[in-house]
């Protein structure tokens, strides 16, 4: 299933892609793509809906973030060996975890703000994993049963805030609009192998990132099991699993985003995002 949210910011409604490819409004069936809807019983209910009997969403609609009611936005750093190399960092001996403020979440095609005082706003396309059943102390072999779906995440980063100021990475990761997610939440039955997805990003028509999730240092199942040893993963939590090489910081010389540019990114089977950069 491909689920989505549509409408104006703060007033999004749930939707689902029908077998004929049309986008259908399912707000008469559920309230939101979030909460109990992401549990196995909620997703099973949606599989039994006759979508062609439901209203079609008017073409030209705005995609909202594909998940609502997100409790935590957990990110994994340096999870592709070649990305670690381009940043001058060794591959970590265990996953590097940090949080991103949920205020950063926005629609996949919303404007991307360059923060005031920013000199190093950077791009990072990532595979997002959305938790369904809560996970606490889960085994790696059971971990994927806790996944409600997968999505595209743009983990936008301000490198000076992240790396040159005192404190933790969260300051460089949490500006408003620094976490576009979607357009779709794709359920695991339509993603046979999360470690076999092409992943790419372009800025103004130039492809900087061109990778595949098979080159992750730590795969999705391992990450879920690992994180669940330290905190309960709640229904609706997003795990952003790291980015392949090609970020602005890794260019020679480094290249960063500025107002008036277009960023286009996507993951095979999960959809694409397109953002214009604007000054905050």
Note the pLDDT of residue 184: 98
**Alpha-carbon gap, residue 240 to 258, rounded angstroms:** 24
State the pairing for strand pair 125-131/238-240: antiparallel
More confident residue, 258 or 90: 258
Binned at pLDDT 50, 70 and 90, residue 212 comes out as very high
Q: So where are the chain's domains?
A: 68-279
Task: Decide if pLDDT at 227 tops 80.
Answer: yes
Beta bridge partners of 152: 127
25-48 residue pLDDT tens: 999 999 999 999 999 999 999 999
Q: Is the pLDDT of residue 165 over 80?
A: yes
Q: Annotate the chain with three-state secondary structure.
A: CEEEEECCCCCCEEEEECCCCCEEECCCCCCCCCHHHHCHHHHHHHHCCCHHHCCECCCCCCECCCCCCCCCEEEEECCEHHHHHHCCCCCCCCCEEEECCHHHEECCCCCEEECCCCCCEECCEEEEEEECCCECCCCHHHHHHHEEEEEEEECCEEHHHHHHCCCCHHHHCCCCCCEEECCCEECHHHCCCCCCCEEEEEECCEEEEEEEHHHECCCHHHHHHHHCCCCCECCCCEEECCCCCCCHHHCCCCCCCCCCCEEEEEECCCEEEEEEEEEC
Residue 82 pLDDT more than 90?
no
Q: What average pLDDT does the chain have? A: 96
The pLDDT, as a whole number, for residue 168 is 83
Peptide bond into 253 cis (omega under 30): yes
Q: Which CATH architecture has domain 68-279?
A: Alpha-Beta Complex (3.90)
For residues 83 and 158, give the distance between their C-alpha atoms in angstroms, rounded to a whole number: 17
What was the pLDDT predicted at 161?
A: 93
Residue of higher predicted confidence among 111 and 92: 111
pLDDT digits (tens, 9 = 90+) for 114-139: 999 999 999 999 999 999 999 999 99
């Amino acid at each position: 299933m491909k689920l989505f949210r549509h409408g104006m910011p703060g007033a999004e409604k749930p939707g689902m892609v029908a077998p004929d490819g049309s986008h259908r409004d399912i707000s008469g069936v559920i309230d939101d793509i979030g909460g109990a809807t992401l549990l196995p019983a909620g997703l099973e209910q949606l599989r039994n809906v006759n979508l062609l009997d439901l209203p079609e969403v008017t073409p030209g609609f705005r995609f909202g973030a594909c998940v609502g009611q997100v409790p935590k936005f957990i990110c994994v750093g340096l999870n592709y060996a070649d990305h670690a190399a381009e940043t001058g960092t060794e591959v970590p001996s265990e996953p590097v975890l940090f949080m991103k403020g949920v205020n950063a979440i926005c629609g996949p095609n919303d404007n991307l703000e360059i923060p005031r005082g920013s000199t190093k706003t950077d791009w990072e396309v990532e595979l997002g994993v959305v938790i369904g059943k809560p996970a606490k102390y889960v085994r790696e072999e059971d971990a994927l049963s806790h996944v409600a779906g997968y999505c595209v995440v743009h983990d936008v980063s301000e490198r000076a805030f992240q790396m040159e100021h005192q404190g933790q990475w969260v300051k460089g990761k949490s500006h408003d609009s620094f976490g576009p997610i979607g357009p779709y939440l794709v359920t695991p039955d339509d993603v046979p192998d999360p470690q076999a997805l092409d992943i790419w990003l372009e800025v103004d028509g130039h492809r900087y990132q061109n990778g595949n999730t098979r080159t992750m240092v730590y795969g999705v199942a391992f990450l879920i099991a690992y994180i669940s040893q330290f905190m309960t993963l709640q229904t609706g939590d997003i795990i952003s699993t790291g980015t392949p090489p090609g970020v602005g910081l890794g260019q020679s010389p480094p290249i960063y985003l500025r107002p008036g540019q277009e960023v286009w990114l996507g993951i095979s089977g999960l959809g694409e995002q397109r953002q214009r950069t604007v000054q905050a």
